[in-house]
Amino acid sequence: MADAGRAGLSVEACVQRLKRYHYALRRLHQIFTARITAEPIYELKTAFSLHAHVCAQHVAALRERVGEMREPPLGLEAVPDPNLEMFFDEILGAPTTEELVTGLYAKAVPALVAALERHRVDTNPLADYPTVRLCRFALLELADLHRFGAEAVKCLVDDPARARISGWLALLDQCLAAAGGLDGAAAPAPGAIGRQHSVQPYVYDGRPRRDGRFPDPYNRGVNVEAFIYNDQLPPEPKMLMLFFRRLREIEIPEMMASIITETKGKPWGYYREMSRQLWDEARHSLMGEVGFASLGVDWPKAMVNATYALTMNTRLNPLERHAVLYFVEQGLMAKTGKRFEWEVALASQNHLASLFQDFDWADEVLHARIGRDWYLPEFKDTAEALKFGDDRWNILFTNWRAWRDQGLTQHRNWWPDLYRDACEKAGVAPDPVVLAFSETYEHRRADLKKVPSPAAGTE
């Protein structure tokens, strides 16, 4: 009775705060997404993918809640406070990983957590129950972000770096103070603030960067599909190729981040679903990493390339990228696609591989549906949409020789090294036929169709 009887926020005051949480989560979603591609550290790429997905979900929930509070027009696209805008612009434009992770996880996320906790204290829990519930769920997941972020900052930002960026961190605090806190509940601190990293508007960097475990990012020296679909080869080494195929999916978040970042003005459902898919693809990559780890295999022996994301992000527009994604994912629905991979995993008798392929397949069915909902309506019919994607896909394969000629890679066949390592860890002798596998992507695409000559491609 005491709790339910206490004075709380009015509907108007509640909506004002909700719009600020919504804005903060939207900006966090934007920053996590936009910074995946050019961030070299694998663990940050995958974490940003998850955190973008989480933020997108809470944005959707908050939009719905504001819509329930007799508020039309909702004004959800408006900036609630220019100082909050500056706060997030500064983090988006952070020039180093140290500043980025500190700004995100030591400033923005804690400020949002504090605001949502305050909401639970300030509002009437009976009258504003639906908001209290949203806050509780958001806090649950934000606590995960916070925990991960604190660990990341500890690992990546040493004392000299912290000292170097302390002036900028103080600027972030000033932005929040001038906004009256993230929720606007405090009196705004007076005084003018000068921008530092956001003097120039942020420009998205679509060139993927990788850390030291990815030493040969242009390498397309092992045609994984030619191996998996060769029925003369045994299932156990195919399982290794499947783990590689999963790990290699890190290119998809790097590429999808560009679509989401550069496609403006869609309904929130688009960003929410595309972000779910983006995180799924990062998760598939992690399945590959975990698969290799479970076998004790040193996966950096496999050359995980980055040319898919690089080529798509720099040579195709966002709709063309989505077209390629759609085309490839529709192909996965055939009997020779995800079902086949799952059957190969079952035949290899590796339980983790079959479990991962099972869920990977389920995720891809969802992605095919997301493609049908958000990509297909741009075209007259499915055939036209598929042909557009098929044509654009060729661009990923027609550069093979150019990269070698430019000295960017030798397309070295890394398979024997990886396979030998796996055999050694498993205590078995390598099969000479498997060891001798040597086919690149020079002549055949990943769907085993012939690569068109560069003249005929989209060059």
Which residue number, 360 or 390, has a Cβ lying nearer to Fe ion? 360
Interface with Fe ion in residues 131-170 (CB under 5 A): none
Q: Using CB under 5 A as the criterion, what x/- string covers residues 395-424 for binding Fe ion?
A: ------------------------------
Query: CA 298 to CA 303: how far, in whole Å?
Result: 11
Stretch that binds Fe ion, among 109-117, 192-200, 280-288, 408-416 (CB under 5 A): 280-288
Stretch that binds Fe ion, among 27-35, 40-48, 203-211, 356-364 (CB under 5 A): 356-364
Contact 411, 220 (CB under 8 A): yes
Minimum distance from CB of 243 to Fe ion (Å)? 13
Minimum distance from CB of 42 to Fe ion (Å)? 16
Minimum distance from CB of 284 to Fe ion (Å)? 4
Which residue number, 86 or 256, has a Cβ lying nearer to Fe ion? 256
* 73: preceding bond cis by omega (within 30 degrees): yes
| Coil/strand/helix, residue 361 | helix
Which residue number, 26 or 284, has a Cβ lying nearer to Fe ion? 284
Minimum distance from CB of 316 to Fe ion (Å)? 18
Query: CA 185 to CA 180: how far, in whole Å?
Result: 6
Which residue number, 273 or 364, has a Cβ lying nearer to Fe ion? 364
Minimum distance from CB of 367 to Fe ion (Å)? 4
Q: 116: Cβ–Cβ under 8 A, 6 or more apart, which residues?
A: 21, 135, 138, 139, 142
Q: Which residue in the set 81, 236, 273, 281 belongs to the binding site for Fe ion (CB under 5 A)?
A: 281
Calculate the CA 208 to chain-centre distance. 12
Interface with Fe ion in residues 196-255 (CB under 5 A): 249
Contact 36, 274 (CB under 8 A): no
| Coil/strand/helix, residue 91 | helix
Minimum distance from CB of 252 to Fe ion (Å)? 6
Q: What share of the chain is helix, strand, coil (3-state, %, to 5)?
A: 65, 0, 35
Q: Which amino acid is at 427?
A: G
Residue 230, number of CB atoms within 10 A of its CB: 12
Q: Which residue in the set 284, 322, 404, 445 belongs to the binding site for Fe ion (CB under 5 A)?
A: 284
53: contact with Fe ion by CB under 5 A: no
367: contact with Fe ion by CB under 5 A: yes
| Coil/strand/helix, residue 444 | strand
Q: Which amino acid is at 63?
A: R
Stretch that binds Fe ion, among 59-67, 226-234, 282-290, 373-381 (CB under 5 A): 282-290
Query: CA 358 to CA 130: how far, in whole Å?
Result: 36
Residue ranges binding Fe ion (CB under 5 A): 249, 281, 284, 364, 367
